[in-house]
A and B are shown apart, each in its own frame.
Chain A
Amino acid sequence: MKLILWTLLTVSLSGVLLFYVWGKVDVVRLGYELDVLLKKKAAVTQEHDRLQARLSQLTAPDRIASEVGKKLGMRPPRPQQVVLVPSRPESGKPSDGPEPPLRLARQTGN
């Protein structure tokens, strides 16, 4: 009986110690994985920042104005090319509510 008790105690203690060590080892393993992921995240963030800077350069107003002028032949509309049309309210009768807002329309032809 005594032997059985001692055996049980030893096994339990060993189990607790093994569980503790397993936990510690797993924490270390996860730490390594976390470190790898953090490095990946840093690299992706760096790439994101670089792309954002590039996007910002490419969408700069002076570049767009230059590109659309040269490649597409676009230019600001002349006053006579801008037409104002009253817009319809989204719901209700046209006579309901306040005065309808205006919309800007641009004449596409000359």
Chain B
Amino acid sequence: MNRSFMKQELKLAGEGTGRRAFVGLCFLVGFVILLFRFFDLQVLQAETMMQKARQQHEKTITLDSNRGAIVDRQGKPLALNLDVPSVYATPSSLDNPTRAARQLAQVLGVPREPLEKRLRNKRDFIWIQRKIDDSQVERLNDLALPGVGVMVEARRFYPKGTLLAHVLGFAGIDSQGLEGLENGYDEHLRGQVRRVVLQRDALGRVIIPESQRKSQPLSGHTISLTIDEVIQYIAEQALEETVRNTKARGGAVLVMAPKTGQMLAWALRPTFDPNHIHQASPERWRNRGVTDPYEPGSTLKVVLAAAALELNRMTPDTLLYAGDGEIPISGTVIHDHEKAGWVTFREAVQRSSNVAFVKMSWDLGREQVYQFLRTFGFGEKTGIDLPGESIGILRRPDQWSQRTLPSLAIGQEIAVTPLQLLTAVSAVANEGWLMRPFLVREISDHQGRSVWEHVPHIRRRPISAETAKTVTDLLVNVVDRGTGKRAAIPGYRVAGKTGTAQKVDPATGTYSSTKFVGSFVGFVPAENPQLAILVMIDEPQGPAWGGVVAAPVFRKVAEQALRYLSVAPGEEARMVASRSRPALDGYQPNWE
């Protein structure tokens, strides 16, 4: 009985152990499979899986940088960024491209057929129109077209319109600088384009913006100019009025602080609105203040007079014989405006006697004339911080003809940019120191911290302080008694020189008898020059004399600018203490 019971017990126990072993084995196999799968996913397919996970919970976006602003010397914005909407489409999501094209064409005012053709391209993304206005956005929202959306982009905006357009230049639709300072300082202005990774949840919401954890400066730098918005406006108004009244082809007014080389105003006509660049031809974009050399005519006599005085070939009282007011030169005749006979050098400058200056240039000789022209900066770039500057035209003496030296004496056979001439005359105003002109005084980062400051640079000293003072006296005499009377400002001593240059007729290759450039260049107050101003009027109709068309513009600009800068009139020019502006503050200049 007991034996059979025990046998039965052993049999049952053996069956239970086998079942448990089987179950254990199944679990073991299952775990091995899971382990293998785990190894496969975590090790063998690790890269692929990580990539898939990233796609699900991470979102990479490109952050366009905010282009830096351009401000004048008082911090007033001249160029800044505005967020504006742009419309795009995902053609693969469009239900009915024909209907969408028709509706979009109506709202945006674009041709329907080319738009429909673009919408039929099965591309993932296309821009339909960049930088649209708010009313168009509202109408697009009302349409609620599937596959069409609006995205906000930054657009360059010039709040002052045409003011300083040639200097500012403009930026393209993708915020890249194309002309002027926008182009020259693009590297500083454009900032950094950066990609950031955002963590997002299952609903697509951003959890932690990665950009906040790795904060980096994105915005471009702010550029502060030496230009003063008010003086710029004064210059533009005066130039505009004269160009309109004289029906001139164009003109220029450049204003410089002669002691530092800072440009205070830069007005050119014709002009353009950088907010609407396509409405003006590229010809109008040219910054003729630095790109287009012209024959300066008698304004060049300032430099030649300085050379003669510096070399002690002349004193203000040296007598010169101007004869009957004409002198034959290699088959042609150079004329004076009137017969002069014997004149002192002072009177020769006062009357702008061509004959006297031709004789003086012969006395100086080729090499000396050439050397002085070079020393005053002609035939080389001024070094201003603008792209596209021309060096002008000044041939070497071994390339000169018999006529070149007397022609140079009256400002022909040489081409200078308006800026070169103004810089040279500013050297006379600055006790003989030739400065490098500049437009940008400071660059600061998006938090307002200064990252770079322009220190004025002395290029060289063409003449001594004594010579500069004598030339200044001669130029004051030109305004007081000579051809520049219309530049005189009551209460101030004005120094300047007029110029009337014939233009070369491209058809005949000879000097035109109907096309002239009237100009005036000078500085004020003569004792302590605060402003050096060049006025150039291109092809005025009617009287074209520099003293008639350009000198009054000088007076208008200088009179208002001096008042604005609170420069008191009088024998000893003083800044008015109560309202003195930091406009003409000096720096300790550096040598180049």
Contacts and interface: CB of A to CB of B under 8 A. Distances in A.
A14 interface: no
Contacts of A104: 563, 566, 568, 576, 578-579
Interface in A84-110: 84, 87, 101-104
B76 A34 contact: no
B578 A87 contact: yes
A35 B205 contact: yes
A60 B398 CA distance: 53
Interface of A: 27-28, 31-32, 34-35, 38, 46, 49-50, 52-53, 56-57, 59-62, 65, 76-77, 79, 82, 84, 87, 101-104
B42 interface: no
Contact of A56 (B159, B212, B237, B490): B159
A53 B566 contact: no
Nearest to A50: B82
B319 interface: no
Q: In the complex, which of the residues A38, A46, A60, A102 has the most CB atoms of chain B within 10 Å of its own CB atom?
A: A102
Interface of B: 76-77, 80-83, 152, 157, 159-161, 163, 199, 201, 205-209, 212, 229-230, 232-233, 237, 490-491, 560, 563, 566, 568-570, 574-579
A82 B212 CA distance: 57
Contacts of B199: 31
A53 B206 contact: no
B82 A60 contact: no
A38 B161 contact: no
Q: In the complex, which of the residues A35, A61, A62 has the most CB atoms of chain B within 10 Å of its own CB atom?
A: A61
A103 B230 contact: no
28 contacts: A31-B199, A31-B206, A46-B152, A49-B80, A50-B83, A52-B80, A53-B77, A56-B77, A56-B160, A59-B76, A60-B160, A61-B163, A61-B232, A62-B233, A76-B560, A79-B490, A84-B568, A84-B569, A87-B577, A87-B578, A101-B576, A101-B577, A101-B578, A102-B570, A102-B577, A103-B576, A103-B577, A104-B568
A77 B563 CA distance: 10
Given A32-B207, A34-B212, A49 B83 contact: yes
Contacts of B207: 28, 31-32, 35
A38 B159 contact: no
A66 to B, nearest CB: 11
A60 B161 contact: yes
Given A28-B207, A35-B209, A102-B568, A82 B563 contact: yes
Contacts of A38: 209, 212
A77 B564 CA distance: 12
A3 B161 CA distance: 84
Given A52-B80, A56-B159, A62-B233, A34 B577 contact: no
A8 B497 CA distance: 100
Nearest to B71: A56
Contacts of B152: 46
Nearest to A101: B577
Contacts of B157: 53
Nearest to A82: B563
A82 to B, nearest CB: 7
Given A60-B160, A65-B233, A87-B577, A52 B77 contact: yes
Nearest to B556: A76
B233 A61 contact: yes
A56 B80 contact: yes
B353 to A, nearest CB: 32
Nearest to A27: B208
